[in-house]
Structure 1
Amino acid sequence: MGERTHYEPGTFCWVGLATTYPAAAEQFYTRLFGWQPEEHSAGEAGTFTMLRRNDHDVAILYRQQPEARAAGAPPHWTSYISVEDAHATAARAGELGGAAVFREPFDVLDAGRVAAISDPTGAIVSLWQPRSRIGATLVNDVGALCWNELATTDVERVKAFFAELLGWQYETDESGYASIRNGGRLNGGVREQVEQGRGIPPNWLPYFTVENVDDAARDAERLGGHALSRPTETHIGRFAVIADPLGAAFAVFEGETDP
């Protein structure tokens, strides 16, 4: 099992779902992944729901901010990267060409400090400075996060940005897919947006491990979601991309992951 008690800075540490109807989203994901919800205070940010599996934290869920809804932002998953200092990292991101601080750092009580940045192509990712909570305490296991993937319009520019900001290194295959390495471990991937994805801004997509991709895709549709891509074979396993009933996209994966 991929139990975690610490994340090296620069490592994806969990994901959060911003949604318009938390109760409906909670019902969908708890049935799909067997997650157990726990509501917590987030201080000035209101409340959030910790999503747990087998007594481990796996993800968080919260109501989308009114400003985001007013701007037309759809419900979405956000990937979180562990950092030593959210304020300093966000400030450095703002100094690098083309990037910006999307949301200034703020405290989530004693759990940690969070900020959001947009990379030079506009994809948004959050920075997590851990205090009492490191992020997910279970990854790379059934019902838990196993991968974070960026679809972007400029792979090389994004790679250079994160290499400068977080020290990421990359392994690029013949197709141009860049696997991220941080602290010697695989840490996600970066790919060029395909033509059918060009209608939406560059974005990060979380992958969750399941026992069977076909079963998970069918269950998601039965629960009100819908497939964005059919189950697809890769050299390491199978995956499918799904939208939940409120429109937030995520992927399910069946195969080998780095524990």
Structure 2
Amino acid sequence: TDLGRFSVVADPSGAVLILWQARAFAGAGVFNEPGSLGWVELATRDAAGARAFYPAVFGWSVAPSEHYTQWGLNGQDFGGMVVMDDGFPPQVAPHWLPYFSVADVDNTVGRAVAMGADVLMPAYSMPGRRIAVLRDAQGAPFGVYTDGEAGDGGGGP
């Protein structure tokens, strides 16, 4: 059966992403619930280029603010963009970082570390959410987050 087609591409700044064209397999059926993908974040040194590229290619909406840009589609935000400043070593290439919704960030970080993950950004709280960034035992970075005061699992980082 033909489940679908994919292509690995890079945007003009070099951030790699995978395109999926659904056929028999539509793709992820769950989004933004504990244990599933809930947010994606582009880290780039070319914010203006990204703000032009992604809406032109994919039709995404752009909601920029002074410190953060959010991507949306059909009225729903699904990701964001951070500008890679001096806090990012020069050898770190532009990239996309997936964030997974979890019921408890601290518990998830503890379990991941016990299984061989490294903590890249320790868990911290911001208004309405808690977030951390890890690298799995194979070297892949990813984020985890809990939204809401009681860890109710909505929204993104």
Normalising by structure 2, we get a TM-score of 0.89
Question: In structure 2, what is the equivalent of residue 36 of structure 1?
Answer: none
Q: Does 1:117 align with 2:9?
A: yes
Identity %: 34
Q: Which residue of 2 aligns with 1:246?
A: 138
Give the letter aligned to residue 246 of structure 1: Q
Q: Which amino acid aligns with 2:29?
A: T
Distance (Å, rounded) in 2 between the aligned partners of 1:120 and 1:255 = 32
Tell me what 1:145 maps to.
Answer: 37
Unaligned runs of 5+ in 1: 1-108
Q: SS of the counterpart of 1:224?
A: coil
- Normalised to the residue count of structure 1, the TM-score between the two structures is 0.55
Partner of 1:181: 72
What residue ranges of structure 2 are gaps of 5+ in the alignment? 149-153
Q: Tell me which amino acid in the other structure corresponds to 2:14.
A: G
How do 1:19-98 and structure 2 match up within 5 A? none
- Structure whose alpha-carbon radius of gyration is higher: 1
1:94-144 deviation per Cα after TM superposition (whole angstroms, max 9, x unaligned): xxxxxxxxxxxxxxx511011122111100111111011111111111100
Which amino acid in the other structure matches residue 168 of structure 1?
A: W
- Cα distance in 1 for partners of 2:11, 2:25 equals 25
1:183 Cα deviation after fit:
1.3
> What residue in structure 1 maps to residue 151 of structure 2?
none
Stretches (4+) displaced over 3 A: none
Quote the RMSD (CA, aligned, Å).
1.6
* AA in 2 matched with 1:189: G
| Alignment partner of 2:88 out of 178, 190, 197 | 197
**Deviations, residues 56-107 of structure 1 (Å, cap 9, x unaligned):** xxxxxxxxxxxxxxxxxxxxxxxxxxxxxxxxxxxxxxxxxxxxxxxxxxxx
Q: Is the 8 Å Cα contact of residues 147 and 155 (structure 2) preserved in structure 1?
A: no
In 2, the alpha carbon distance for the partners of 1:195 and 1:221 equals 27
| Residue 154 in structure 1 maps to residue 64 in structure 2 | no
Q: Which has the higher helix share?
A: 1
Using the TM superposition, give the Cα deviation of residue 258 of structure 1 relative to its aligned residue in structure 2, in angstroms.
4.2
Return the offset for 1:195: 2.6
